[in-house]
Amino acid sequence: MNNSVNTIKSVNEGLKKGEFSVEEIVADYQARIKKENPKLNAYLSIFDSPKLETRNYKLETSLLAGVPCAVKDNILISDEKCTAASKILEKYVAPYDATAIARLKQAGAPFLGKTNLDEFAMGATGEHSAFGPTLNPHDTSRVSGGSSAGSGAAVAADLAVYALGSDTGGSIREPASFCGVVGLKPTHGLVSRHGLIAMASSLDQIGPITKTVEDAAIVLNNIAGHDPMDSTSVPVSRELPDYTANLNKSIAGLKVAVPKEFFSEGLDNQVNNLAQAAIAKLESLGAHIDQVSLPMIEYAVAVYYIIVPSEVSANLARYDGIKYGLSSNKKSSSLLDVYLDSRAEGLGPEVKRRIMLGTYALSAGYYDAYYLKAQKVRVLIKNDFDKIFAKYDVVVGPTVPYPAPKLGELDDPLAAYLADVYTCPINLAGLPAISIPCGFADVEDKKLPVGFQIIAKHFDEAKLLQVAYNLEQALK
């Protein structure tokens, strides 16, 4: 079985024709994971196959039936460990399924295991896991991108047909860019967050990491839709479209905006050239290209790193050593000591840094100056995008300013935060975006993948995927 070409559709067809069984393809992937995972650290846990074989597979009614997938370890699967790559949740077992998981189970998807991530999804490189970094399949001296590091590496290394990740400021698109796969961040509210371990609730979104744009559309068909269990899930007035229906449709006449701010200082030359070539390819497909400006975008990283730590500070207050998760064995003289000792032992340095930043930004005397002001600028960033989308169908540019850096290269927190410069504005505005591979950069005798980002209007994933598919086919 040649897993490198195993897409959702090809596996589904192979199963229908009887070329192999669900048990055989799952066993094949598990053997690969056991062999390759020690080199990459993409998976934190691998599920036993007997559990997978008991599901009722609906090969005729669902494209995902019997197609093995991986799941980021901050998304709950009932009766399986969910650690969020943190010592504080090392032994936590999920009591229920996340809504996205329940919908995949309904479609007959078998789960191979849980993938590594930056602790509590905080990081752009995959180096902040309590259980060691995930390495890039293209060069194991380099990072795989975060925070959905294991999901990106697993799909790129053919250790899963597709995977689920979560994206708060680029956490699906960055590993997709660094690992050379497709990563889709849906509109905030399109896919339920119920059962996703919360980091920053107003920005978090579950989405697929896949080998092709068509696969991303297939997964989105199965996980999108309103969920009363998630207060940020948007009730859709009309039936959701089939996201695979218009993939082949020509993009001639579509209006494409290229923000000049996406091609400014700090952008790697080779990434710039590959992104410009992708834009030229869109033009050759009949799209109209215009340069535009998003003036407020220069404040996006600063705004993001006030709002996110503030929400982190609130969301992670629940890890107190009492309710669930790690409780310190130290003899504590007071309840406060139980909290302090448990959090000191259970949380990593990046998580502590963000909790402290957020607690400071929310504290009396600073709330108005930091958090409130950041929320006001967030509205201005969204308004900038709204003005562009009043005239244009999509906005395009690079996904990340550079190819995958070496392990330890972004040890300075500020340098690591700047990796989100093109991705976090999209989360602040709640928009959908996708990263697709657009070529390779030559770095120290290695060819490293580069991602190209396409952004669309709220809930216009159909158009987003259509443009991405057309460009993907043209770039082949």
Select which of 86, 144, 166, 171 is catalytic. 171
Rounded to whole angstroms, the Cα distance separating 236 from 305 reads 31
Does the annotation mark 476 as catalytic?
no
| pLDDT of 52 | 57
Burial class (CB in 10 A: 0-12, 13-18, 19+), 426: buried
- In the chain, the number of structural domains is 1
Closest CA to 454 of 463, 444, 446, 441: 463
- In this structure, what CATH number is given to the domain that contains residue 42? 3.90.1300.10
Q: Provide the domain limits for residue 73.
A: 3-223
180 torsion bin: left (phi>0), alpha (psi -120 to 50), beta (else)? left
In which residue are the tokens 């970094």 written?
A: 133
Please check whether residue 139 lies inside any domain of the structure.
Answer: yes
Instruction: Give the side-chain half-sphere CA count within 13 A for 436.
Output: 25
CA–CA distance, 279 with 256 (Å, rounded to integer): 9
Q: 334 an active-site residue?
A: no
**CB environment 131-144: b (16+ within 10 A), e (fewer):** bebbbbbbbeebbb
Can you give the pLDDT at residue 114? 98
Residue 2 pLDDT: 43
CA distances from 450 to 135, 146, 405, 421 (A): 16, 15, 12, 15
Q: For residue 439, tell me if it sits in a domain.
A: no
Q: What is the 3-state secondary structure (H, E, C) of 342-358?
A: HHHHHCCHHHHHHHHHH
Q: Is residue 155 part of a domain?
A: yes
Q: Is residue 46 part of a domain?
A: yes
In a domain, 121, yes or no: yes
Residue 17 belongs to some domain of the structure: yes
| Whole-angstrom distance, CA of residue 460 vs CA of residue 383 | 17
Question: How far is the CA of 260 from the CAs of 138, 290, 291, 400, in angstroms?
Answer: 30, 10, 6, 15
What is the model's pLDDT at position 411?
84
Query: What pLDDT score does 236 carry?
Result: 74
Q: Which amino acid is at 120?
A: F
Global pTM reads 0.96
Tell me if 108 is assigned to some domain.
Answer: yes
Q: Which of 301, 293, 265, 299 is nearest to 388 (CA)?
A: 293
Active site residue 201: no
pLDDT tens-place values along the chain, 476 residues long: 444 579 999 999 999 999 999 999 999 999 999 999 999 999 999 998 655 544 556 777 799 999 999 999 999 999 999 999 999 999 999 999 999 999 999 999 999 999 999 999 999 999 999 999 999 999 999 999 999 999 999 999 999 999 999 999 999 999 999 999 999 999 999 999 999 999 999 999 999 999 999 999 999 999 999 999 999 999 877 789 999 999 999 999 999 999 999 999 899 999 999 999 999 999 999 999 999 999 999 999 999 999 999 999 999 999 999 988 899 999 888 999 999 999 999 999 999 999 999 999 999 999 999 999 999 999 999 999 999 999 999 999 999 999 999 999 998 888 888 899 999 999 999 999 999 999 999 999 999 999 999 999 999 999 999 999 999 999 98
Q: Determine which one of 62, 144, 147, 148 is catalytic.
A: 147
Would residue 197 count as lying in a domain? yes
CB atoms within 10 A of CB 317: 12
Among the listed residues 72, 185, 457, 463, the single catalytic one is 72
List, in sequence order, the alpha helices (H) in 197-250: 213-223
Identify the pLDDT of residue 51. 57
